[in-house]
Amino acid sequence: MEKKYKKLEQTWRWYGPNDPVSLQDVKQAGATGIVTALHHIPHGEIWPLEDILERKAIIESSGLTWSVVESVPVHEAIKTRRADADKYIENYKVSLKNLAQCGIKIVCYNFMPVLDWTRTQLDLEMADGSKALYFNWIDLAVFDIYILKRPRADTDYPKSVLERAAAKFSTLNQQQLDDLRINVLMGIPNEKEIELETLRNSISEYEKIGFNGLRENLVYFLSAIADVCEHEGIKMTIHPDDPPYPILGLPRIASTIDDFNYILQNVDKPFNGVCFCTGSLGAGVDNNALQIFNVVKERVYFAHLRNVTKDEDGSFYEADHLGGDVNMYEIMKALSEENALRDKSIPFRPDHGHQMLDDLAKQSNPGYSAIGRLRGLAELRGLEVGVTGNY
């Protein structure tokens, strides 16, 4: 008997009313679902019911659906399990209840210390003139050793990287050093400026917590919200570390197949799920994204599809959605087969995109210009049809 496929839910990340990409743009791109958050609410505070309803009404008035929350941020007090952690967990639970009351029940989050994501360049020029996000180990070492001046930072890099970082640092002027600092710190959520001393203090705090301590804090958080999630029908989806390895002395606990096995086995309940991000996982030199998917697929409730190309150092740039090191054909095939088993379609979004065409002259959130993502969504939609035969 021929296998019956249904389509994945096609979604689009939207940063709210101030996003330069409008909901009308999203509709024209072909997406039907919106992935968004209440970015105006400070981390750790309760998301008011009226704010959620207001955002939902704006989305639905455009003929779209609020499909996924990305993200309800986990406060640093929870990640570090400070004395006031339980207060922020209680706030988080109220936000989840309010979202569920509005019918929004897939929540993406991360458990990355301090930085939500890290790139060293936001405008790497590609051969066709478009621009991509780039993570370069040499540039990170320059930031870490010569700008941040983290104690013992040089012990975290191989000799070849240290030598090239020293050589590059000697060629950089103050403006270039400032640009590098801004790019790296761009991943600190809701921060326009942060004192380097504050960052060093946070790094020192996580050094004491360590890899195992951060793992335990994640399990504590998930266990604390489990009853609310189960009662309200919430699916939590942890986003992989981006990039998926320790940087700046900060531990990473959602980077490898072993990490995800630990997370799912230590809170072994259906609400505890994964946001499967091919770009983040694909950046890991030892990661096989398809292998990881096959291990966690029953708990994948949301997917980010993008691609990366790595070099011999493990530096990477964000490639075309159907280019790069991740075999997107095999990923789409596996994702579609899992989706066929579900009562409700798995939402995915084209993650990031090159800045290209008219968008080269526009200001947008890094990785989130319209045309590059439109191209990515179109390619992924076509790939899905090719894999499933489902028009």
Partner residues linked to 197 by β-bridges = none
- Calpha distance 91→218 (Å, rounded): 16
Per-residue pLDDT band at 188 (split at 50, 70, 90): confident
Q: For residue 301, tell me if it sits in a domain.
A: yes
User: Is the separation of the CB atoms in 155 and 189 below 8 Å?
Assistant: no
Calculate ∠ Cα 383-374-31, nearest 5°.
80
Give a yes or no: residue 2 inside a domain. Answer: no
**Catalytic residues, which ones?**
239, 277, 304, 351-352, 368
pLDDT of residue 195: 81
- Identify the band that residue 187 occupies on the pLDDT scale cut at 50, 70 and 90: confident
Q: What CATH number does the domain containing 263 carry?
A: 3.20.20.150
How confident is residue 390, by pLDDT bands cut at 50, 70 and 90? confident
99 located within any domain = yes
Tell me what the mean pLDDT of segment 140-163 comes to: 97
What average pLDDT does the structure give for the chain? 96
pLDDT of residue 1: 43
Structural domain contains residue 4: no
Q: How large a percentage of the chain has pLDDT more than 70?
A: 98
85: pLDDT strictly greater than 80: yes
Q: Taking residues 299-328, report their average pLDDT.
A: 97
What mean pLDDT comes out for the span 138-157?
97
Per-residue model confidence (pLDDT) at position 2? 57
**Within a domain: 3:** no
- Number of domains within the chain: 1
Q: Which residue range(s) make up the domain with 380?
A: 9-388
pLDDT at 191 over 90: no
pTM of the model: 0.96
Q: Is residue 1 part of a domain?
A: no
* Domain presence at residue 245: yes
Which ranges of the chain would DSSP assign to H, the alpha helix? 23-29, 49-61, 76-80, 85-101, 137-142, 159-169, 174-185, 196-232, 257-266, 278-282, 289-296, 328-339, 370-388
Confidence at 5, pLDDT banded by 50, 70, 90:
confident
For position 184, what pLDDT does the model report? 94
pLDDT per residue as tens digits for the range 226-246 = 999 999 999 999 999 999 999
* For residues 83-112, average pLDDT: 98
Find all residues with CB under 8 Å of 128, minimum gap 6, and list them. Answer: 356
- pLDDT at 194 > cutoff 80: no
Q: What is the pLDDT of residue 360?
A: 97
289 within domain boundaries: yes
Which residues does 283 contact at the CB level (< 8 Å), separation at least 6? 135, 242, 243, 244, 308, 310, 314, 316
3-state secondary structure of 233: coil
Work out the pLDDT band at 193, boundaries 50, 70, 90: low
In this prediction, residue 190 carries a pLDDT of 61
Instruction: Summarize pLDDT for 344-373 with one digit per residue, the tens.
Output: 999 999 999 999 999 999 999 999 999 999
Measured CA to CA, the distance from residue 308 to residue 280 in angstroms comes to 8
